[in-house]
Amino acid sequence: MEKTSSDAQSSLASATNGSFSESEKASRESTDPARLVSITGVRFHFIIAAICICLFIITIEITIVNTALITIANDLRSFHLSSWVVTAYLLTYVGFLIIISKLSDIVGRKSVLLASVATFTIWAGACGAAQTTEQLIVFRAFKGIGAAGVFSSSMIIIFELITPEKIPKAAAGVSVVFAFALVLGPIFGGAINESSSWRWCFLFNVPVGTVVLLIFTLLLPRNFPYQDSQRPRATGVASSIRARIDWLGAVLVLGASVLLVVALENAGLRHPWKSALVVAPLTISGVMWVLLLAWEWKVTRDDGTREPVFPWRFIENRVSFGMMLTIFLLGPPSVVAIFSIPQRFQVVNNMSPLAAGVRILPYTAVSPISSMVVTAIAGKFKIPPVYLVIFCSICQTVGFALLATVPITETILISQYGYQALAAFGCGANMTLLTIMTPYMVTKKDAAVAQGSIGQLRYMGAAIGVSIVTCVLNSYVQNHLSSILSPTQVEGLLRSSGMISLLPVELQSPVRLLYAEAYNLQMKVLIGFSAAQVPAALLMWQKNQVVLGT
């Protein structure tokens, strides 16, 4: 690297408007390397492999379920509720990422990681046994809590296992794991639906999670990353947890997110926009967001025992704020596309889940390629990551703009695959770039919460994005179907898209084309999120840009 991580962090802090205080700078050096446990050899490789498997299964959870969602919804007869199967997982994932990151600081990495993997595995089994959509939504919400813990703990442990100069390579490696999960998820989901029950989309996690749990139990040191006899201990762990965790901040984040999604999911479908059941949650959500900002400002300024779920330092520092805002805006394009494109192939083009999974490969396969390419370019040619983030945001915008103009037809155009690839290049590259930049943006004190914030903000954006595009699709379809179908037929379609094949032949094509128009509208929503990343990324612009080495 051109600079070590600590040098880069120091340069970045001094170059930005919201520079860190002397006490915060000093905290970077507060961890004595002699007190940290060193893991090498076969043990190291087994732990890294287990972490990669964990990150893989919590990421493939999104893509594998998205591909199988039409089948699940049709089997449980609840197409209009299908998006909640996705958003329930994302919301609890978002709500618990930072709080679990902080818990790992207090009670130890290993304890939190084991509990998280166990939670994810148990509720995966419950999802596979669900008998109704409502049950599946609840079980997926609990599974999301486990996934949040797995992600935050795993990411922190990875960066504690390696030396600072290897951070860019490690971040790129993690991004490749995520990307391959995106590639294989749609194919696995489609194949499972074709060869057996959709329930195996969840049940396969049980044996995998059990093996990973065994590896961590046997090989990860009890007090990692500290030597057993040197781990800092608080007097009374329970009281320490109560004092340090920002419980109110966590509740406000989760409550504001849930209420916003509830309002968007209901608006225009089950209730009109002016309904109290839409206006009330929207209003309360807005108030909670304002209260959250005020509370986090107070907790950060108090500088006491309580540790904020989202330090105000991230907002005061223009560069770190720009990074956080960009990752939030990246959430909807990166996740919604994987949610929407396979659905279009199944509903509009009448394809099987497996065929739809194969046809989204241009999107999911280009993502890992772009992750590797941009990392190599940034390192070899010493190009500041912020330049590449802006370029990739433009690629996203153009790609989704082209997808929004796909002709309204039941025929698949070859050009659609190219449009997917262009949008995916921008999304995949930005995920890697922003992950790599994170360690350079914060102090040692905020390292754990910053890693949690990256995942939290991305999936918060994704959850909100899914709810917005679902609202767009449901409202558009319901408003326009009533002109060609009876109320009974409309109700049937909202429960199962498979009902299209049971309609009279002369009505099937108009209905599919109506859905095609709705899916194009969804892509237009993603244009806005992609384009907004450009001014957000410009906030990271500074006189002395961070440059990554090879």
pLDDT tens digits, one per residue of 327-362 = 999 999 988 898 899 889 999 998 988 888 889 989
User: Within 13 Å and on the Cβ side, how many CA atoms surround 215?
Assistant: 20
Neighbour count for residue 305 (Cβ, 10 Å): 10
Per-residue CA distances from 400 to 29, 56, 275, 501 (Å)? 45, 26, 32, 29
Structural domain boundaries in the chain: 5-16+35-228+236-245+307-538, 246-306
pLDDT attached to residue 384: 86
Range 5-16+35-228+236-245+307-538: architecture per CATH: Up-down Bundle (1.20)
Cβ atoms of 51 and 157 within 8 Å: the answer is yes
- Residue carrying structure tokens 């949610």: 339
Top-confidence residue, 317 or 407: 407
Contacts of residue 383, defined as CB under 8 A and 6 or more positions apart, other chains included, come to 377, 547
Q: How confident is the model at residue 11 (pLDDT cuts 50, 70, 90)?
A: very low
What are the DSSP calls for 455-496, one per residue?
A: HHHHHHHHHHHHHHHHHHHHHHHHHHHTTTS-HHHHHHHHH-
Q: One-letter amino acid identity for 311?
A: P
Q: How confident is the model at residue 376 (pLDDT cuts 50, 70, 90)?
A: confident
Average pLDDT rounded to a whole number, residues 384-392: 91
The secondary structure element, H or E, covering residue 301 is helix 276-302
Cβ atoms of 244 and 305 within 8 Å: the answer is yes
pLDDT attached to residue 400: 97
Q: Alpha-carbon distance 86 to 268, whole Å? A: 20
Residue 20, pLDDT above cutoff 70: no
Contacts of residue 491, defined as CB under 8 A and 6 or more positions apart, other chains included, come to none
Q: Alpha-carbon distance 301 to 289, whole Å? A: 18
Residue 18, pLDDT above cutoff 80: no
With vertex at residue 31, the alpha carbon angle to CA 30 and CA 37, rounded to the nearest 5 degrees, is: 170
* pLDDT single digits (tens) 57-94: 988 887 788 778 888 888 887 776 777 888 888 888 87
Among 60-69, 215-224, 264-273, 481-490, the least confident range? 264-273
CA-only gyration radius of the chain, Å: 23
Cβ atoms of 426 and 396 within 8 Å: the answer is yes
Q: Which of 91-105, 291-305, 419-433, 444-458 has the highest mean pLDDT?
A: 419-433
91 φ, ψ to 5°?
Answer: -65, -45
The dihedral over CA atoms of 135, 139, 140, 145, expressed in degrees to the nearest 10, equals 150
